[in-house]
Structure 1
Amino acid sequence: MGIELKAFFNWKLLILPVLAVVITLIVWPALPEIIPTHFDVQGLADDTGPKIMIWIFPAMLFLLPALMMISPMIDPRRRNYEKFKKSYGVILGVTEVFLFLMYGWILGQIFGVAFINGEYLLPVMTGLMFLALGNVMPKIRQNYLVGVKTIWSFDDPDNWNKTQRFGGYCFCVVGVLLLLSCFAPLAWRTAVILILIFTAALLPMGYSWLLFRKKEKEK
């Protein structure tokens, strides 16, 4: 039984993308021809590009929900999406809000409006996103788009469920540590953040492999 597009479509998902487009059209005439396109750990611009690149964020805000609405129809595990539909919506919503806030911060930097100190932007935003995703991760069922995906869990529902549960714990712990990384010296902060993010990604994968090895030994 197929999954219809309307089953995962919610008009609220268009609010932030449309708002981003409206904001971009309003500020477009006032944008300088060259804008910052990348920022270092201190929130200082370290790369620039033509102002047309400002459209990257509105485009991403439209493409993300489009991808996540189409995926349940083409994923070989499409039937499982109904089992975690609410969590799926949370994942999309959290990611959209993250992108929109980052876009707002960049516009603030361009026009000299400080919403949040750039030194704390990455650890705070990333930490909050990890906490939100970690809370819904245990509810994710087998699919090819979201969650911790390993070759050992795709054909083993028990391995998948335990891996997502463990991944959820890891994301929540790392989310808290990312928030606390605001207090790390600037010279170390980038390394700390990257180590924490890689830890959150690698630990669940290692756990999935251990579950697989344990099951193999029991055969």
Structure 2
Amino acid sequence: MKSLTLVLSTFFFSLILWIGTYNFLPEKVAMHFDGNNVNQYASKSFMFMMFMLITIILLLLLFIFLNIDNKNPNKLKINKPFSIIGIIFVLSLNIIYLMNVQNESLKTEFLIVLFIGFMLFVVGNYLPQIKYNSKYGVKNWATVQNPQNWNKVQRFSGNTFVIGGLLICIFSFSIPFLIALLLTFFVIGVMLFVIHMYSNRLAN
């Protein structure tokens, strides 16, 4: 019931965003961007319907995910960060498009990097709360070999995700998009390597 309320609330909020700005949109709005330039237009009614359809599909996928294995207490803990991430992604998708339509020169690429950093930050805050199980959390040789290492790995991974997420968020605001995106992949690679090395040390 909570997941249904969450999904419906997000959909109606997205709908209200479009209805509230619809009359202020030009009759022809951007449909496809080539870098910072618009190379294809469509009627605003078509884009309204398309974004509502995309919103419904994304929220339906989120609803299905939230209700899979929802009796598992560890899955319920995972549901919290994914609910936050899913809702913010759907709302941001609509908001960013509406902002770009009203100002085609507006640069919003940095929000992609910001969202990745935010996602890692949110997941990192919840990882230490996940109890030992076979489905969810950071699983590797150290946790499989010795369940007592589980909490240590989840706590270390959570801290690593939080620090990495904050760094990526800083990149999104402070440096050009392409460099920030490359650094994002580099930071994620370093994070995974550090977690792997820490796990190996525990296993040995």
**TM-score if structure 2 supplies the norm length?**
0.69
Matched residue count: 192
Partner residue of 2:160?
A: 170
Partner residue of 1:60?
A: 58
Return 5+ residue gaps in structure 1 as ranges.
1-5, 74-80, 215-219
Alpha-carbon shift at residue 49 of structure 1 (Å): 10
Q: Percent identity?
A: 21
Indicate conservation of the 8 Å contact 1:148/1:163, yes or no.
yes
From 31, 35, 43, the equivalent of 2:31 is 35
Return 5+ residue gaps in structure 2 as ranges.
none
1:17-28 matches, within 5 Å, as 17-19=10-12, 22=15
User: Is 2:146 aligned against 1:150?
Assistant: no
Alpha-carbon shift at residue 62 of structure 1 (Å): 1.9
From 182, 197, 201, the equivalent of 1:191 is 182
Partner residue of 1:15?
A: 8
1:1-219 matches, within 5 Å, as 9-19=2-12, 22=15, 35-36=31-32, 44=36, 54=51, 55-72=53-70, 81-82=72-73, 85=76, 87-109=77-99, 111-112=101-102, 117-143=107-133, 146-154=136-144, 156-181=146-171, 182-212=173-203, 214=204
1:84-105 CA distance string (max 9 Å, x none) = 74x3342132222331233123
Instruction: Give the direction of change, closer, same or farther, for the CA distance of 1:14–1:39 in structure 2 (3 Å limit).
Output: farther
SS at match of 2:102: coil
Indicate conservation of the 8 Å contact 2:10/2:87, yes or no.
no
Alpha-carbon shift at residue 110 of structure 1 (Å): 5.1
**TM-score if structure 1 supplies the norm length?**
0.66
Indicate conservation of the 8 Å contact 1:65/1:92, yes or no.
no
1:44-83 CA distance string (max 9 Å, x none) = 479979957643343122212322321345xxxxxxx326
Instruction: Give the direction of change, closer, same or farther, for the CA distance of 1:14–1:199 in structure 2 (3 Å limit).
Output: same
Higher deviation after alignment, 14-23 or 170-179? 14-23
Indicate conservation of the 8 Å contact 1:137/1:168, yes or no.
yes
